Amino acid sequence: MEAPHKCEYRIRDLPTRSVTLFPTRAQVVREIKDVALKPGANEITIVGLTPTADEDSIKVEGTGAAIITDIAVTLLPNNDIFEDIYPDSDDDEDKDTSEDDEEEDEAEDINKALEDVRDNITSLSDEQKRAKEIIASAESRLKMLDAYGVSLDKRRNVDIETGVETYRKEREKVFQDHMEGIIRDRELTRDISKLRLEQRRLEKSERKEKDKAAKAKAKVQRAKDKLKEKLRRREEERLNEKTRVRTEREQFWPRSCYTVRITLDATSFSPTPSRRSSIASASDIVKIVSEKEGGPPSEDFTCSLSLSYVTSSAFWSPSYDLALSTTTSSALLCFDAQLTNMTSETWENCKVILSTSQTTFSGLKDDIPILQPWRIKLAGKGNGTLVNDAVQSREERAEQNVWQTSLNYYQSQKPRAELFGIKGSVNPYMQAHVQAKAQQMQQMQPQQQQMQMQMQQQHVQQMAYQQHGRTAYRSAPPPPGASLFGSVAPAAPAPTAFGGGGFGAAANSNIGPTTLSDALAAAPLKRKEVSRRGGGRFFAEDDDENEDDGATMLEPTPALDFQESSFEETGLTATYDLPNLKTLKPSSTASKQRVARISFSNVQFSRTVVAKYRPVAYLKARLRNTSKLTLLRGPTGLTLDGTFMGRSRLPRVSAGDIFPLSLGVDPAIRVIYPEPDVKRSTTGVFTKGDNSVYTRTITIANTRATAGKPVNLTVFDQVPVSEDEKLRIDILHPRGMTIAAADGIPTGRPGRDAKEEKDWGKASAVLKKGGEVSWDVELNAGRCVKLMLEYEVALPAGERVMQCD
C-alpha cells in the first residue's frame, strides 16, 4: 500500500476567517485554501492549535473533489523553539558602542612660555656655575702664586726682579679672570632672578588655567556622566520592556498543542448520484464539486478546508460609560466591549462577532423531575429526630442536593501553569494558579457544604417548631443558600449579564474562578463597596453611591465619530458585528471596542430623603431603554453634569424596559433634622393618665440657582405604632391624615421668613401602614420648606413605653 501524500500547516500561518466571541468562550474559524491533493490518500496535518481549545468542538469542512475519511485530534508537546519564533536579534542594535566606558585623561597643555623661561633659567644656571668655577679657579691660582712668592725667599741666587715681574703678570691674569667671573656671576644672578619672577608669574597663570580647565573638564564630565546615566536608564527601561514582553509571551507560549490530522480520499471518479449519497460522504465530508458530463477525469485535485474550534480562554464582556444631564433630562450611554484573548494564537485581520449566547446551558442532561407523593405520619413523642418532614420531604432534600451539585459543576480543564510557559523557566502564572487553586478548594466541595448547610437549616427549623408550636408551619422556610451566621447566598442562579435566568444562567454566584482565565475575566467585575456616613455616596450593585462635593457643568466638546456595529437579535441570542477587520493578540489585558452609542431622553430624576436615619437627599434616575439593543449587565462609569462620579454597575435591561440608577447624594439639597420637641401634660383621655406631644421638623433647602427647575422629593418619616390597647397614638399634624385617606393632605410651610419664600412650592402628606409618613414635595429653586410631624402618645399613669422585639 502506498504511503499517503502528506502536507503540514502551522496554525499561525493560516488566515482567520472569523472569531465569534461569547461571554465565556470563543469560536474560531480558520481557512486553508487551494490544498494540492494527489490521487489516492492524502494526509493534511494542522499543528499548533491552542491547548485551551475544546477537543470535541474541532470540526473540519470544505469544498473540493475529495472525501474526508478520518479526523484525528492529538495533544502533543510543542516542538517549536521560543527563540526561533521570537528572536532576540535586537540586543546590540540599540546599544551605543561609539562611547568608551573608560576615557583616557587628556594630555595636559604645556605652557610654552613657562617652558622657555625654565630652559633659560637652566642655561643661565649652567653659565653661573661656569662663572663661579672661573672665580674659584682664580682664587686657587692666586693662592698658588702667593705660595710661589713665599718660596722665593728660601731660594738662593734668584733673580728677584724677574720673579716679581712674573708674579705680577700672573697675578694680574688671575685677577682679571676672577673679576670677569664675579661680573658674569652677578649678571647671571640678576638675569636668573628676573627669570624666576617670570617663572612664578607664569606658574600662577598656569595654575589658574589648570583650575579653569579642570572646572570645565569636570563640567564636561558631569554632562557625560549625566548622559551616561540617561543612556543607562534608557537601556534599563528597554531591557525591562523587553523582559516584560518576553514574560508576557512566555505566559502564552504553549507547552503542548493540539494537532489535527485530516485524511482525504482524492481518488478520481465521475460524479454519480450514488457516490454522493454514500455513507463516507455523509459524515465529515468535503463538499464535492461536480464535473461536467462527459468530461475527462482530472489527475490533480485541489480543495479548500475550514477548521473551526471553540476555546474557553477568549471571551468578551460589556463595559459602559453613562453621562447624565439634570438640566436637559437626557443621558448618553457608550456601549463598549472588552475583548480578551488568552490563548496561544493570534487572530489577524479577521471578522469579529460578539454574541450574547452562553453556549453552555445548565440542565441539558437532566430529565424534568416528577413530584413524588409526600406522605407523612406522626413520629411519636419518643422519636428524637430533629428533621421536620412537614417542612421538606426526603425527595426534596435529595433533589436539591443534586441540583446544587449540577450548579457547581464546571468544565474540567488543566491549569494554565501546566499548559503555558517555557520548560525550565519560572512561570508567572504558577503562583496565581496556586492561589486560585487554594481559593477554589475553599469554595468548592459543594455537595458536602450544601448537605451540612441544609442539615443546619433543618435543625434550626425543628428547634423553632418545638418552641413556637404550629407557628413554624405558617412561617416561610429560609432560602436554600441561607447561613447560620447571617450571610445569605442566592437561592437560585440570578440572571447573568449575557442571558436570562432560564437559558445560559450562571452556575452559581458563589463559585470562585476555577482557572486563571476565569479569575482574570471576573477581576473587572469585582470591586469594593465604599460607603461614608452622612454626605457620602454609595456605588454598589443596587443602591451604590459615591461622594461628590458638587456638580460642575462642563462645556460640550465635539465628539469623534465612530463606526456603529451591526446588530441582530435572534430568539435568545443577540449578535454584534464589529466594523472592519480586527487583530486579536494574546494578552492578559482586554482591548476595548465601541459597540454602540445610545441616547436617552426624558430621564426622570427623583430625590429621596430619610432624614431620620441620614440627613441627605439621595438622587436616583429612571431611564427607559428606547433602543433595540439589550443592555447587558456590566460595569459603568457615571458622569453627572460633566463631573465624573465613579463606577457603578448597570443591570440587564431589555429593549423598552425602565431601569433605576442610584446616583448618590445630591449636594444641592440640604436637610436639617433636629431633635424632637416633647411637651408633656397629665390630662388626657385616661383618668390620671400621661399625655406627651412629640413634634418632628424636617427642613429641606434647594440651594440651586433661582432660575433652575423645581425638584421633586419624596420624604419619609414615621410615627410609632401601638401594640397595646392601653397605649394610644394620635397624629395631630398634618391634621386629618389617616390610612383611609387616599388623597394626600396639603402641608408644609416656608423654611425662612423672607417674603419671597412664600412661593416655595407644594407638598402633600400620606399615612401608610406601619406608621410610615410620606411627603411628596415639589420644591422650587433657591427655596426652603419645613415639614412638621406632630403626634400625641397617651398611656396610663405610671406606665412607660418600650419598643417591641
Whether residue 573 sits in one domain with residue 504: yes
445-503 pLDDT, tens digit each: 444 455 455 545 544 444 444 443 333 333 333 333 333 233 333 333 333 333 333 33
Residues 551 and 415 placed together within one structural domain of the fold? yes
How would residue 259 be classed by pLDDT, with cut points 50, 70 and 90? Answer: very high
How far is residue 339's CA from residue 23's CA, in Å, rounded to a whole number?
Answer: 10
Whether residue 145 sits in one domain with residue 285 = no
**652 with 497: CB under 8 angstroms?**
yes
The per-residue pLDDT for range 580-634, each reduced to its tens digit, is 899 999 988 898 988 889 999 999 999 999 999 999 999 999 999 988 888 889 9
- Please indicate, yes or no, if residue 259 is contained in any of the structural domains: yes
Of the three residues 188, 213, 238, the one that is the final residue of a domain is 213
Structural domain includes residue 379 = no
The band of 97, judged by pLDDT with boundaries at 50, 70 and 90, is very low
Query: What is the model's pLDDT at position 154?
Result: 66
- Has residue 557 been placed in a domain? yes
Regarding whether 199 and 170 lie in a shared domain, the answer is yes
Q: Does the residue 655 lie in any domain?
A: yes
Q: Tell me which residue of 417, 415, 436, 439 sits closest to 428, measured CA to CA.
A: 417
Q: Return the minimum-mean-pLDDT range out of 183-187, 338-342, 413-417, 680-684.
A: 680-684
Q: Is 231 left (phi over 0), alpha (psi -120 to 50) or beta?
A: alpha
Residue 202: predicted pLDDT: 85
Give 362's DSSP letter.
Answer: T
Confidence of residue 757 (pLDDT cuts 50, 70, 90): confident
| Of residues 114, 92, 120, the one with CA closest to residue 202 | 114
> Are residues 549 and 417 part of one domain?
yes
Q: How far apart are CA 9 and CA 45, in angstroms?
A: 6
161-215 pLDDT per residue, tens: 777 787 788 888 888 888 888 888 888 888 888 888 988 888 888 888 889 989 9
pLDDT 10s digits, 3-40: 888 899 999 999 999 999 998 899 999 999 988 888 88
**What 8-state DSSP symbol labels residue 4?**
P
Same domain, 541 and 524: yes
Judge whether 248 lies within some domain: no
d(CA 480, CA 459): 14
For 780-805, how does the pLDDT look when each residue is reduced to its tens digit (9 = 90+)? 988 899 999 999 888 888 788 888 87
Residues 76 and 125 in one domain: no
Is the residue at 371 inside a domain? no
Does 732 reside within a domain?
yes
How high is the pLDDT of residue 80?
85
Q: Residue 78: helix, strand or coil by DSSP?
A: coil
Same structural domain, 204 and 333: no
* DSSP-derived secondary structure letter, 752: S
Spatial distance between the Cα atoms of 686 and 681, rounded to a whole number of angstroms: 12
> Beta strands 314-325 and 634-640: pairing type?
parallel
Q: Looking at this protein, which amino acid is placed at residue 153?
A: D
409 pLDDT band, cuts 50/70/90, is low
DSSP-derived letter for residue 631 is B
Cell of 144: 698658588
* Confidence tier at 280 by pLDDT (50, 70, 90): very low
Q: DSSP string spanning 105-156?
A: PPPPPP-HHHHHHHHHHHHHHHHHHHHHHHHHHHHHHHHHHHHHHHHHTT-S
The band of 524, judged by pLDDT with boundaries at 50, 70 and 90, is very low
- State the total domains in the chain: 4
Q: Compute the average pLDDT of residues 122-131.
A: 86
Q: How far apart are CA 36 and CA 303, in angstroms?
A: 7
Q: What percent of the chain has pLDDT over 90?
A: 26
Secondary structure letter of residue 411 according to DSSP: -
Is the pLDDT at 527 greater than 80? The verdict is no
Q: What is the mean pLDDT of residues 38-47?
A: 90
Q: Which of the residue ranges 284-293, 671-680, 779-788 would you say has the lowest mean pLDDT?
A: 284-293
Domain boundary among 609, 635, 667: 667
DSSP assignment, residue 169? H
Ordered DSSP codes for 760-802: -EEEEEEE-GGGEEEEEEEE-TT-EEEEEEEEEEEEETT----
Say which amino acid occupies 751. Answer: G
CB-neighbour burial class of residue 54 (10 A; exposed 0-12, middle 13-18, buried 19+): middle
Mean pLDDT of the chain: 74
Look at 44 and 740; give whichever has higher pLDDT. 44
Neighbours of 384 (CB within 10 A): 6
CB atoms within 10 A of CB 47: 19
512 confidence band (pLDDT: 50, 70, 90): very low
Among 213, 246, 265, where does a domain finish? 213
**How are beta strands 16-21 and 26-37 bridged, if at all?**
antiparallel
Do both 296 and 173 map to the same domain? Answer: no
Q: Is the pLDDT at 702 greater than 70, yes or no?
A: yes
- Asked whether residue 104 is assigned to any structural domain, the reply reads no
d(CA 410, CA 415): 13
Q: Are residues 511 and 586 part of one domain?
A: yes
Confidence of residue 568 (pLDDT cuts 50, 70, 90): low
Q: Provide the pLDDT for residue 421.
A: 73
CA-nearest of 566, 660, 565, 645 to 606 is 660
Name the least confident of 82-96, 345-359, 659-673: 82-96
Give the pLDDT of residue 11: 92
Identify the pLDDT of residue 698: 94
- Please report the sign of the dihedral spanned by the C-alpha atoms of residue 543, residue 546, residue 548, residue 554: negative
525 and 610 assigned to the same domain: yes
Average pLDDT over residues 99-116: 57
Straight-line distance from the first to the last Cα atom of the chain, in angstroms, rounded to the nearest whole number = 91
Look at residue 414 in the predicted model and tell me its pLDDT. Answer: 66
pLDDT of residue 327: 84
Whether residue 734 has a cis bond before it, omega within 30° of 0: yes
| Least-confidence region, from 221-230, 267-276, 311-320, 572-581 | 267-276
Non-local CB neighbours of 435 within 8 Å, separated by 6+ positions: none
pLDDT range class, residue 564, cuts 50, 70, 90: low
The boundaries of the domain holding residue 754 are 670-796
Enumerate residues 6+ apart whose C-beta is below 8 A from 273. none
* 666, 618 contact by CB (below 8 A): yes
The 3-state secondary structure of 463-500 reads HHHHHHCCHHHHCCCCCCCECCCCCECCCCCCCCCCCC
* 481 or 696: which leads in pLDDT: 696
Taking residues 517-525, report their average pLDDT: 37
- Within this chain, do residues 528 and 658 fall inside the same structural domain, yes or no? yes
Q: What is the mean pLDDT of residues 650-661?
A: 90
